[in-house]
Chain A
Amino acid sequence: MKEKRSRMDIIHDIMLAIQRKRGRIKPTHLLYKSNLSYQRMNIYLEELMGKGLVAKDFDDNHKFYTLTDKGFNFLAEFKRIKEFQDSFGL
């Protein structure tokens, strides 16, 4: 059985999902990619937007979530932490 994702894993999955869509993703796509409920996804997105890592964007009345420059740098740091965590079996 797959282990429960940590908070860090979930944030990493959300930001990675946005990055893989060239830094811009629709909420429904993000909901599918992040494997979260709509409510939980919004809680995490509010936190990420509060920290300036993710921003909300509108295009032809369609809502998008985008990664900010700070978000891209943070994701790079996250990847290093994930590599560190995996290498030491934490």
Chain B
Amino acid sequence: MGFIFGPSWFYGIDSGFSFFAMLVTISIAIFSLKAYFIAKDRKYLYFTLAFFSISVSYLIKAVASWVVFKHILGKVPNLTAAISTVVSMPNFYSLGYILYVFFIFAGFMILVAIYLRIHSIRTLSLLFILMLILSILSQSKFIAFHVTLFLLLFYIVIHLFKNHIRTKSVSTFLVLYSMLALMVSQIFYFFIIFDKIYYVIGHVLQLIGFLLLLLNMILVFRKR
């Protein structure tokens, strides 16, 4: 799991990025909930659930990364010792990873279901369980996780691309490129084994994605 795969100078910064992502996604969830109460349309409720789930996943990631870096790195001399300490805490490490994977997959899975108009709960639950099994139990869980997330984002980007072609507005452009940035960021995580800088690039791309989402929400709030 990519909690501790970055260079040492990036420790704590990635927690900040995750916390920012949590704030942006929760604001989207709250606005969508407000839209649901006004419009009484269930799609807003499902959209709220999706972004709330994504928000929870980034909160877990932020907290877990922060705990690892502040409480463990402060007590051990270097990264190697820190990693040894973390992996010797199987419950904490495993639980954090499992919860992060669960909530982020749940969130993006709901988005895919909304966009592809998948109404069958059985189909969704089957896909969700398969994704979890792949990302938690497989030999290369890290790669499996990022490949699966890439695929989910790919389908979301296709829908948003068609939406942008149809409406051609600044808002649709921002949302399209935000999801595109999140999708492309997953590719960089595959190359962490070659150089830790790819962890940073992946995180920076994700930050850009969430900044674009934030910009879109600002435009929405300013609309009169």
Q: Give the chain B neighbours of A78 by CB distance below 8 A.
A: 38
The distance in angstroms between the C-alpha atoms of A56 and B40, with both chains bound, is 25
Of the residues B39, B167, B223, contact of A8 by C-beta under 8 Å = B39
Q: Is the CB of B223 within 8 A of A83?
A: yes
The distance in angstroms between the C-alpha atoms of A83 and B221, with both chains bound, is 9
Of the residues A8, A80, A88, A89, contact of B221 by C-beta under 8 Å = A80
Q: Is the CB of A89 within 8 A of B115?
A: yes
**A61 contacts the other chain (CB 8 A):** no
The distance in angstroms between the C-alpha atoms of A80 and B30, with both chains bound, is 13
Q: Is the CB of A87 within 8 A of B174?
A: yes
Q: Encode contact with B along A59-90: 1 for CB under 8 Å, 0 otherwise.
A: 00000000000000010111111011111111
Q: Which residue of A lies closest to B164 (CB)?
A: A89
Of the residues B44, B216, B224, contact of A90 by C-beta under 8 Å = B44
- Taking residues whose C-beta sits less than 8 angstroms from the other chain, chain B's interface range is 20 to 34
Q: Is the CB of A86 within 8 A of B39?
A: no
Q: Encode contact with A along B17-47: 1 for CB under 8 Å, 0 otherwise.
A: 0000000000000011011001111011001
Q: Is the CB of B172 within 8 A of A85?
A: no
Q: Which residue of B lies closest to A6 (CB)?
A: B41
The distance in angstroms between the C-alpha atoms of A85 and B114, with both chains bound, is 12
15 contacts between A and B (CB under 8 A): A7-B40, A77-B38, A79-B223, A79-B224, A84-B31, A84-B220, A85-B35, A86-B163, A87-B174, A89-B115, A89-B163, A89-B175, A90-B44, A90-B47, A90-B114
**Which B residues contact A (CB, under 8 angstroms)?**
31-32, 34-35, 38-41, 43-44, 47, 114-115, 159-160, 162-163, 167, 169, 171-172, 174-175, 216, 219-221, 223-224
